[in-house]
Amino acid sequence: MVMKRFLWRRDKEVCSKFDFDQPLSFRFDEHGVLMPSVVQNDAGVVVLPVEPHHRILGIVMVSEQAAGQIACNGIPLALGMHALRHADRFEIRLETYWISVEYSVEETEYDPSRYPPNSFCFLTKARLVAGDPIAICPGTPDIPCGMIYKLSVWKMTQQSGTTFRCPNCGHSPARAGWAPPEPRRWESLKSLMDLAGWRRQERP
């Protein structure tokens, strides 16, 4: 299983995506925008990647100076360490970030000393022998998998013209990676009132 963590930032219609494979702090760039950085932070917030456990992908460390200035999924965070999970949203000084994880299939050879002996292809139930090319399903952020497929079978499912999903976990190699939700286009109360007034004036 190949895992990649990402940190996202949205600026209006533009999304920025950062590799999250080492501790990140937040610094103001030359335009005054708070951006993730590997350099020592000056915002009092550090995000650390951790080995996934119970869907936890990272830890956000909030210093005393930053307490009350950062929130996760709308909930203010106090001084200390707080867990981050896939698709969590956190705000720092009016800037919004998300954390995500993507898993990709591991392609290797079947080794009875590494994998359970007398294993079968999860889809065809064909017995595997040492040296068989196989694909290991990575699962999803919610459901770890690890089911073994013959590599030829796995690739054939991708060429079938349908969006194949692992029957065990629902993972789909053809499925696009996760991205932050599109911003909602809220209209101000004044604009709605103006529109209502305009419609009243248009009536005969």
Same domain, 88 and 148: no
User: Is residue 179 a part of any domain in this protein?
Assistant: no
Provide the residue type at 74 as one letter: G
User: Is residue 172 a part of any domain in this protein?
Assistant: no
Distance, CA of 122 to CA of 130 (rounded, Å): 16
Higher pLDDT, 178 or 201: 178
Same domain, 87 and 113: no
Distance, CA of 35 to CA of 96 (rounded, Å): 10
Same domain, 10 and 97: yes
Same domain, 153 and 65: no
Q: In the Cβ-directed half-sphere of 188, how many Cα atoms lie within 13 Å?
A: 3
Same domain, 11 and 95: yes
Distance, CA of 30 to CA of 9 (rounded, Å): 17
Residues 6+ apart with CB under 8 A from 23: 38, 46, 47, 48, 49
Same domain, 15 and 71: yes
- CATH number, domain of 73, equals 2.60.200.20
Query: Three-state DSSP class for 94?
Result: coil
Distance, CA of 172 to CA of 137 (rounded, Å): 9
**Under 8 Å between Cβ of 20 and 49:** yes
Same domain, 26 and 88: yes
Count of the separate structural domains present in the chain: 2
Same domain, 121 and 83: no
Residues 6+ apart with CB under 8 A from 80: 61, 62
Model confidence over 118-149: pLDDT tens digits? 899 999 999 999 999 999 998 887 788 899 99
Domain boundary pick from 59, 85, 102: 102
**Under 8 Å between Cβ of 147 and 135:** no
- Give the pLDDT band (50/70/90) at residue 92: confident
- Give the pLDDT band (50/70/90) at residue 94: confident
pLDDT at 8: 92
- What is the residue whose two structure tokens read 């001084």? 79
pLDDT at 189: 54
Same domain, 25 and 68: yes
Average pLDDT, the chain: 81
C-alpha of 50 from chain center:
14
Same domain, 145 and 68: no
Model confidence over 40-86: pLDDT tens digits? 655 678 899 988 777 788 999 888 878 878 899 999 999 999 999 98
Higher pLDDT, 48 or 158: 48
Q: Determine the structural domain holding residue 74 and report its residue range.
A: 2-102
User: Is residue 185 a part of any domain in this protein?
Assistant: no
